[in-house]
Amino acid sequence: MDQTPINLLEIKDLKKTFSLTGGLFSRRLTLTALENINFNIRQGETLGIVGESGCGKSTLGRCILQLLAPDEGQVLWLGQDLTRLPAEEMRQRRADLQIIFQDPLASLNPRMTVGEIIADPLRTLRPELNKDERRARVLKTMEAVGLLPEMINRYPHEFSGGQAQRIGIARALITEPKLIVCDEPVSALDVSIQAQILNLLAELKDEFGLTLIFISHNLSVVRHVSDRILVLYLGRIVELATGDEIYEQPRHPYTRALLTAVPIPDPKLARQRNIDALKGEIPSPINPPSGCTFRTRCRFAKPFCAETRPPLETIEDGRLVACHRWREIEVPEEAVLGE
């Protein structure tokens, strides 16, 4: 048996709300973006976070990094609660926790050269380095992500989307972080470039012993890169399991529906498939359904699902699932093909 892995991060009872003001005379509304979020991230793993638009996946990434302040709950980094850390200490900690964004060009300052962009985090986080040391580190990082040294004085607009994403990755890597949150890092890229960046992230993870949080709406991509996958629906965890478990034995009806809806690049399998079409659309997070928030679209829902919220239960091997009926529902033999 493996040794019990160290939990790099423990997320406890995290909650995040946004208050919305409509017009001058309308009442204030509260949007609950995340609620009852509890899970751990193990050192050296890649944790995928999937869900559809508005499920709170990006908000969760930002709450972990303290780019957004959660309303309640704890984000424990090796036991230390980041939500209570004084600003200056958090700033120091940021060298360990970095982020890569979806739109590579929009996230790079157009007036800075590639070298300046990549070196930027060092100025605040490693002020002890002198100019030559900074430059040496920039060049080393550029090499690691597949950028040529002569690109150091160029500007972002001279680069394609894939190259720009490499610059974004280099900027995240330069502080030698332990954890990187990748927020839809390949969604804006062409297929062939997407694969290059996914491979690069996997190589960097091995080389530098990184822990990755990989946020995406694309379940195929997430399964490809992740050890474990967290499925969110309307701001709540519905399931957390290994990629294989999610693929072979999805327990939550929403995970099952997602799995049958993912396009498969295989015509014969695609034709055999019965898509578990969900009824309707995602309800508004301002006024979520009572009880289980998924019940309005769930074909297994019973009247009692409207009454109480299903707890996030730990089932075998540390899997988590939040469904009143998971024990009763049979999973089809090939979950990806539906039934």
Partner 1 sequence: MKEVLKVEDMSVTFELHQSEVHAVRDMNFSLAEGETLAVVGESGSGKSQAFLAIMGLLAKNGRAGGRAMMGDINLIGMPAGQLDKHRGKDIAMIFQDPMTSLNPTLKVRTQLAEVLVKHRDFDKQKATAAAIEMLERVGIPEPVKRANAYPHELSGGMRQRVMIAMALLCQPKILIADEPTTALDVTVQAQMLDLFKTLTEDFGTSLVLITHDLGVVAGVADRMMVMYGGRAVEKGTVDDLFYDPRHPYTLGLLHSTPHIAHRAARLDPIQGLPPSLEHLPKGCSFNPRCAFAFDRCLVERPPLTETGNGREKACFYEGPMAYGKVA
Binding site for partner 1 (CB under 8 A): 52-53, 160, 162-163, 190-196, 198-199, 202, 217-221, 223-224, 243, 247, 257-271, 273, 275, 277-278, 280-282, 336
To partner 1, the closest distance from the beta carbon of 65 in angstroms equals: 25
Min dist. Cβ of residue 135 to partner 1 (A): 27
Beta strand 179-183 pairing with 72-77 = unpaired
CB-nearer residue toward partner 1: 94 or 223: 223
Residue 124 vs 220, nearer CB to partner 1? 220
CB neighbours of residue 154 within 10 Å: 16
Contact call for residues 66 and 38 (beta carbons, < 8 A): no
Number of CB atoms found within 10 A of residue 312's CB: 18
Check if the beta carbon of residue 104 is closer than 8 Å to that of residue 188. Answer: yes
Least distance to partner 1 from the beta carbon of 218, Å?
8
Instruction: Return the H-helix or E-strand segment holding 263.
Output: none
Here the tokens at position 160 are: 């394609």
Q: Give the residue from 273, 219, 266, 268 showing the smallest Cα distance to 246.
A: 219
Tokens describing residue 45:
């793993």
Shorter beta-carbon distance to partner 1: residue 68 or 261: 261
> CB 298 → partner 1: shortest distance, Å?
12
Closer CB to partner 1, 134 or 297, in the complex: 297
* Minimum CB–partner distance for residue 192 and partner 1 (Å): 4
Which residue, 68 or 262, is less far from partner 1 as judged by CB?
262
- Measure the CA–CA gap between 205 and 218, rounded to whole angstroms: 20
